[in-house]
């Protein structure tokens, strides 16, 4: 079983994941951040691959990507950092970015290096499902890597069922059809949407992301589905408190 799916299934609810951008705030912070997130009790971590032209990221994560790229972060260095800490990290890691990055790097080389780092799960919002199904699914499977698909309040029931069939890890339930870092409380605004997803009895775990920034939003998300992902709020914490504030931040959200 995919490690992320196993972690979600075994915990049976109240799953918490943190997203951060590799190379932010400093180029060499990746390993320390991962160790602190693991020590904080996070169930799995999304490692953002900084990209110059993101399609789903709000201003906070976009800015962190710009800083990371200016710092000199690239995929080769990220893989070196992940490989160097592989034996110390025991929670699942997810790489999140864009398929254009993978294509430029080389699909086989990317998947091979991800596998070597112990990564079993990718989130690539710009990889069309039909293209994945017809061209890349077997290649991903060769390296033991699963792709995560996103759904929004506008995703049809038929497409959600197809995504469920195609998923080996989890389904990323976007709390709104907006970008990351959405203001307000999208979880509260979309309760009927989450209830609809929960009633579908999908085989794949469902984790909510986009706009979850505090304990109340985290707890509400977990009342409906299997877990929640926090991204922009943690990036803001890194900007203010640095890596040293990680454990306090996670405790303020997940405790």
Q: For residue 82, what are the domain limits?
A: 3-254
Catalytic residue among 57, 87, 185, 191: 57
Instruction: Respond yes or no: is residue 3 known to be catalytic.
Output: no
Instruction: Respond yes or no: is residue 57 known to be catalytic.
Output: yes
For every one of its 255 residues, what pLDDT tens digit does the chain have, with 9 covering 90 and above? 999 999 999 998 899 999 999 999 999 999 999 999 999 999 999 999 999 876 656 789 999 999 999 999 999 999 999 999 999 999 999 999 999 999 999 999 999 999 999 999 999 999 999 999 999 999 999 999 999 999 999 999 999 999 999 999 999 999 875 544 445 555 666 889 999 999 999 999 999 999 898 999 999 999 999 999 999 999 999 999 999 999 999 999 998
Report the distance separating Cα 149 and Cα 125, nearest Å. 7
3-state secondary structure of 226: coil
Q: What CATH number does residue 40 fall under? A: 3.20.20.70
Q: Smallest Cα–Cα separation from 118: which of 156, 142, 91, 148?
A: 91
- Could you tell me whether strands 171-174 and 206-209 are parallel, antiparallel, or unpaired per DSSP bridges? parallel
Its pTM stands at 0.93
Give, as one character, the DSSP assignment of residue 132: I
Please count the structural domains in the chain: 1
**Whether the Cβ atoms of residue 226 and residue 207 lie closer than 8 Å to each other:** yes
pLDDT of res. 181: 43
**Whether the Cβ atoms of residue 230 and residue 17 lie closer than 8 Å to each other:** yes
Catalytic residue among 3, 29, 43, 46: 46
3-state secondary structure of 47: strand
Burial class (CB within 10 angstroms; exposed 0-12, middle 13-18, buried 19+) of 44:
buried
């Amino acid at each position: 079983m995919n490690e992320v799916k196993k972690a979600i299934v075994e915990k049976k609810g109240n799953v918490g994941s943190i997203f951060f951008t590799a190379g932010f705030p400093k180029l060499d912070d990746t390993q320390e951040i991962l160790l602190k997130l693991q020590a904080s009790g996070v169930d799995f971590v999304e490692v953002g691959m900084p990209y110059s032209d993101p399609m789903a990221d709000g201003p906070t994560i976009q800015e962190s990507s710009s800083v990371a790229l200016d710092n000199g972060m690239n995929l080769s260095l990220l893989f070196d950092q992940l490989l160097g800490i592989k034996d110390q990290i025991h929670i699942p890691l997810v790489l999140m970015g864009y398929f254009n990055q993978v294509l430029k790097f080389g699909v086989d080389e990317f998947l091979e290096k991800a596998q070597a780092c112990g990564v079993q799960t990718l989130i690539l919002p710009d990889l069309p499902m039909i293209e994945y199904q017809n061209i890349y699914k077997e290649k991903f499977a060769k390296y033991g890597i699963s792709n995560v698909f996103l759904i929004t309040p506008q995703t049809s029931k038929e497409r959600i069922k197809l995504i469920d069939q195609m998923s080996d890890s989890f389904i990323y339930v976007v709390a709104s059809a907006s970008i990351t870092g959405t203001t307000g409380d999208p979880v509260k605004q979309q309760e009927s949407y989450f209830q609809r997803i929960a009633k579908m009895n999908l085989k794949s775990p469902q984790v909510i992301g986009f706009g979850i920034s505090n304990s109340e939003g985290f707890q509400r998300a977990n009342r409906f589905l299997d877990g929640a992902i926090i991204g922009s709020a943690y990036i803001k914490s890194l900007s203010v408190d640095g890596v040293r504030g990680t454990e306090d931040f996670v405790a303020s959200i997940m405790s």
